[in-house]
Amino acid sequence: MSEEYRSEGTRPEEPDIEEHIRTEEIHVKGDDLVAKVKEIIHQGNIRRISIKTEEGRTLIEMPLTLGVVGAVLLPTWAALGALAALVTNCTIVVERIEE
């Protein structure tokens, strides 16, 4: 049997999962950027990490899911290393999942 979809192209409703997102801003120097992002990822329950300049312009956004670890993040670490060399101060915006 196959699932039926509505004519508007939407999928049948899925059960609601209660999820709250809390946002934190952490101000760091460029030298500490990579180490701080690694520390935040190891803490867990992270939905997204954004790096912003002092002026508030977003430089990079990293959506994170439960399965994202190790080799998948290697290109991101390289990008963060390059950013750290270019910026003096930046803000890490962390979206945490609270159930």
- CATH number of the domain to which 41 belongs: 3.30.1490
**Number of independent structural domains in the chain:** 1
Task: Mark 16-33 as b/e (b = at least 16 C-beta within 10 Å).
Answer: eeeeeeeeeeeebeeeeb
Residue 15 lies in a domain: no
pTM, rounded to two decimals: 0.68
Residue 59 lies in a domain: yes
- pLDDT tens for 1-51 read 433 333 344 444 444 556 688 999 999 998 898 889 889 888 878 888 999
- CA distance readout (Å), 68 to 9, 10, 22, 99: 30, 28, 20, 20
Residue 43 lies in a domain: yes
Q: Is the dihedral of CA 43, 52, 79, 87 positive or negative?
A: negative
Residue 25 lies in a domain: yes
- pLDDT tens for 56-98 read 999 888 887 655 555 566 677 778 888 788 888 999 999 988 8
Domain region containing 77: 20-98
